[in-house]
């Protein structure tokens, strides 16, 4: 299995509080992604990174920010959590040199915003 670790795995927080999810990889892959998964929706891309300090928005980026100061770490921050951000968040990594379509996902972080 690809070396991807997400933390925390579970978090319950209150509306209006800041939340940071961490994704750590040991594969030295260049590309990292944050997705959210909700019932009735496919996986939706929030933000992605194509290198250290290089990030861009995905399909559902409003209310989220990211940072990547090291190759191995990609942080997702909810500045002021809302109930609509209750979701399962997946980090993924890829080595796009061969563009095989294979993303390696972390185990997910389940966030509940009360």
Partner 1 sequence: RKEVEQDPGPFNVPEGATVAFNCTYSNSASQSFFWYRQDCRKEPKLLMSVYSSGNEDGRFTAQLNRASQYISLLIRDSKLSDSATYLCVVHRAAGYSGAGSYQLTFGKGTKLSVIP
Chain contacts with partner 1 (rule: CB under 8 A): 31, 33, 40-45, 48-50, 56, 90, 94, 96, 99-103, 105-108
**Which CB sits closer to partner 1, 15 or 50?**
50
Q: How far is the CB of 108 from partner 1 (least distance, A)?
A: 6
**Which CB sits closer to partner 1, 39 or 62?**
39
Q: Residue 84, SS3?
A: helix
Q: How far is the CB of 16 from partner 1 (least distance, A)?
A: 28
**Backbone phi, then psi, for 95, in 5-degree steps?**
-110, 105
**Which CB sits closer to partner 1, 85 or 89?**
89
Give the separation between CA 65 and CA 45, rounded to whole angstroms: 13
- 85 near 11, Cβ under 8 Å? no
The length of the chain, given as a count of residues? 114
């Amino acid at each position: 299995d690809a070396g991807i670790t997400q933390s925390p795995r579970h978090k319950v927080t209150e509306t209006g509080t800041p939340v940071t999810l961490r994704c750590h990889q040991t594969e030295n892959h260049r590309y990292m992604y944050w997705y959210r998964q909700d019932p009735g929706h496919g996986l939706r891309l929030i933000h992605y990174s194509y290198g250290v300090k290089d990030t861009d928005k995905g399909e559902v980026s409003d209310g989220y920010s990211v940072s990547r100061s090291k190759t191995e770490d990609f942080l997702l921050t909810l500045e002021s959590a809302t109930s609509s951000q209750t979701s399962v968040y997946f980090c993924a990594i890829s080595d796009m040199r061969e563009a095989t379509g294979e993303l390696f996902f972390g185990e997910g972080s389940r966030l509940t915003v009360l």
